[in-house]
Amino acid sequence: MTINAALVKELRERTGAGMMECKKALVEASGDLDAAAEVLRISGQAKADKKASRIAAEGRVVVAEGNNEAVIVEINSETDFVAKDENFVAFADAVAAVALQSDARDVVELVGQKLADGNTVETARTELIAKVGENISVRRMARVASSGVIGSYLHGARIGTLVALQGGSAELARDLAMHVAASNPQCIDESGVPEAVLESERRIETEKAQGSGKPAEIIAKMVSGRINKFLKEITLLGQPFVKDPDTSVAKLLAAANATVTAFVRFEVGEGIEKKVDNFVEEVMAQVKGAR
């Protein structure tokens, strides 16, 4: 049958797929728009499956807030170019919005939630993969709730933070969210530091101190001092406040009669082993292959 341009255009607007892909799907579906859309959806899933093993370490961190709750989501792409694509940005914002509206507690629950257009997050993800030609991953999400105030901060699209306070103000919560983005604390205070981490640090510092040849009681004081310094560096309350390094976060909170109940910090790609391309070797391989 003949597939006219108006039909192709309608399918393209509906699915976002390329002109040739739309025409091919319409031919396969004998001009049925719904069937052709399903063909494209299946094709998108096939493309997503093929790209699933490709490393997606770029992307965006997005935040959504409302009703004493906030969510933060990391969505990855393979390149920074796609991370800035309007389709990717719209997808990321839509996922953050549905994460806030739903009761999803993690990515497994989030990908099954329905977006405003009726598609699930997972369906929209596979369709986006077909559209942009890269692996896309909804990597992680976190939810923070508070009867007090919640502050958020986005450093571009690569770092996002949430901080929940009891007491204090929205301005303080925002400042602390900015601090968390800059200083990357590992936990709120010493009680949150895993014992295994402390033991490892204590062992390393003891071995270093023993090499000084000093008496055991001096070594013990040296180790204790270094451990205290380590704890201040990795705990939010122990760190100097980024806007006033002469004041610790603990003192800042005490002055405001506030307490941090939770914080989250996401940075795009952290913990993902990125592929490092050696372009010289790649070019040389192509030259040798052409001989």
Q: What single string gives the DSSP state of each residue in 85-97? A: SHHHHHHHHHHHH
Output the CA torsion sign for 92, 56, 152, 149: positive
Instruction: Examine domains 5-51 and 147-184+249-269 and report if their fold is the same.
Output: no
- CB of 214 closer than 8 Å to CB of 221: no
Measure the CA–CA gap between 8 and 2, rounded to whole angstroms. Answer: 11
pLDDT of residue 207: 82
Q: Where do the domains of the chain lie?
A: 5-51, 54-145, 147-184+249-269, 190-248
Q: Which residues contact 220 (CB under 8 A, 6 or more apart)?
A: none
The DSSP symbol for 191 reads G
Which tokens in the block code for residue 32?
Answer: 């049925």
Per-position DSSP letters for 236-263, written without gaps between them: TTTSEETTEEEEEHHHHHHHTT-EEEEE
β-strand partners of 266? 160
SS3 233: helix
β-strand partners of 114? 120
Q: Which amino acid would we find at residue 141?
A: M
Measure the CA–CA gap between 134 and 154, rounded to whole angstroms. Answer: 25
Which tokens in the block code for residue 137?
Answer: 């991953």
Which tokens in the block code for residue 158?
Answer: 């690569």
Model confidence pTM above 0.85: no
Q: Which residues contact 22 (CB under 8 A, 6 or more apart)?
A: 8, 11, 12, 15, 36, 40
Measure the CA–CA gap between 264 and 62, rounded to whole angstroms. Answer: 12
- CB of 57 closer than 8 Å to CB of 76: yes
- CB of 223 closer than 8 Å to CB of 202: yes
pLDDT of residue 166: 96
CA 271 to chain centre: 11
CA 9 to chain centre: 35
Element of type H or E holding 199: helix 195-210
Determine the topology of domain 147-184+249-269 in CATH: Tetrahydropterin Synthase; Chain A (3.30.479)
For the chain of 291 residues, list the mean pLDDT of each consecutive stretch of 10.
Answer: 78 70 83 81 56 78 95 95 95 97 92 92 90 90 95 96 96 97 96 90 84 80 88 95 96 97 96 62 52 48
- CB of 149 closer than 8 Å to CB of 173: yes
Determine the topology of domain 54-145 in CATH: Tetrahydropterin Synthase; Chain A (3.30.479)
β-strand partners of 141? 73
β-strand partners of 64? 71
CA 110 to chain centre: 14
Determine the topology of domain 5-51 in CATH: Helicase, Ruva Protein; domain 3 (1.10.8)
- CB of 196 closer than 8 Å to CB of 99: no
Measured CA to CA in angstroms, residue 81 lies from 14, 51, 85 at distances of 24, 17, 7
